[in-house]
């Protein structure tokens, strides 16, 4: 499908999951992170490139047709740290992609771009963003950046509002937000290979029983989840006591992200 595909954040939790799963989509898989990446396997290239370093990111994108952009901070931090890694860094990726003529970016956004909606409502990607912290704010910025680069330069993006991607859900909230690793792969592959996407926003979740997010508007991407959190429900509900429904982390879709962070 691609001569050279770039995976940023390749040393992170989801980067390590996708690294072996993306090799079949390209002749060369270029991997980048500021953390240790180990040794390059057949068909891999390793390039260390801090996202804050514009020149390094420009070199990183040379010869790349598509990007799976997972790089940056994945949890709540001080705004200055989020600004450098997630906001400035993502801008550098898009600008380098434009300069080198990359065709598509799969951007790891987050459900925390809409974390202040309540768990009692079902929302879709066309509704206004309601970020629940600096991290969610950076993902909202990334989606707006993607829209700008499509409108201005024709660079296509699928923004994936990833829920909770783990081997299994670990709490009651994840019964709604869980994304299995196999469904994560299906989601990224669909985002990379759909014929026309423009700028599409899609929630990353498995076929869970409890639904907070409606992906109907993004059905043209062709993502079809095959896993579900339901087999884990009984054990989780028996193990985790009910949270006081008046507490923000029980009432809001962003969970604990809505109350934690370096705020004074």
**Beta-carbon contacts of residue 156 (< 8 Å; ≥ 6 apart):** 103, 104, 105, 150, 196, 197, 198, 199
Which residues participate in catalysis according to the annotation?
135
Answer for the pair 189, 224: CB distance below 8 angstroms, yes or no.
no
Query: d(Cα 106, Cα 100) in Å, to the nearest integer?
Result: 16
Tokens standing for 225? 């989840």
Answer for the pair 100, 63: CB distance below 8 angstroms, yes or no.
yes
- Sheet containing strand 156-162, strands side by side: 44-47, 26-32, 2-8, 66-69, 104-110, 156-162, 199-204
Nearest to 214 by CA among 134, 144, 146, 125: 125
- Calculate helix-pair angle for 89-100, 134-153, nearest 10 degrees: 20
Answer for the pair 184, 17: CB distance below 8 angstroms, yes or no.
yes
Helix and strand totals (H; E) in the chain = 9, 7
Tokens standing for 16? 């390590």
């Amino acid at each position: 499908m691609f001569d050279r595909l770039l995976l940023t954040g390749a040393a992170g939790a989801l980067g390590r999951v996708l690294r072996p799963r993306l090799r079949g989509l390209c002749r060369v898989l270029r991997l980048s992170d500021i953390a240790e990446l180990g040794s390059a396997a057949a068909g891999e290239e390793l390039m260390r490139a801090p996202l804050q370093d514009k020149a390094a990111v420009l070199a990183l994108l040379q010869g790349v047709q598509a990007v799976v952009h997972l790089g940056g901070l994945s949890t709540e931090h001080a705004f200055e740290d989020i600004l450098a890694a997630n906001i400035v860094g993502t801008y550098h990726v898009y600008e380098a992609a434009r300069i080198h003529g990359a065709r598509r970016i799969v951007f790891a956004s987050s459900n925390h771009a809409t974390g202040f909606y309540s768990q009692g409502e079902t929302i879709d990607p066309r509704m206004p963003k309601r970020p629940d912290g600096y991290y969610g704010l950076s993902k909202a910025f990334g989606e707006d950046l993607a829209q700008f680069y499509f409108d201005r330069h024709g660079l296509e993006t699928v923004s994936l509002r990833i829920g909770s991607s783990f081997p299994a859900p670990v709490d009651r909230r994840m019964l709604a937000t869980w994304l299995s690793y196999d469904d994560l792969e299906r989601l990224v592959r669909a985002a990379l290979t759909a014929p026309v996407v423009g700028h599409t926003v899609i929630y990353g979740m498995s076929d869970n029983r409890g639904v907070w997010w409606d992906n109907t508007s993004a059905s043209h991407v062709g993502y079809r989840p095959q896993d579900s959190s339901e087999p884990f429900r009984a054990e989780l509900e028996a193990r985790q006591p009910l949270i006081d429904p008046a507490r923000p982390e029980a009432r809001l879709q962003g969970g604990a992200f809505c109350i934690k962070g370096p705020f004074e």
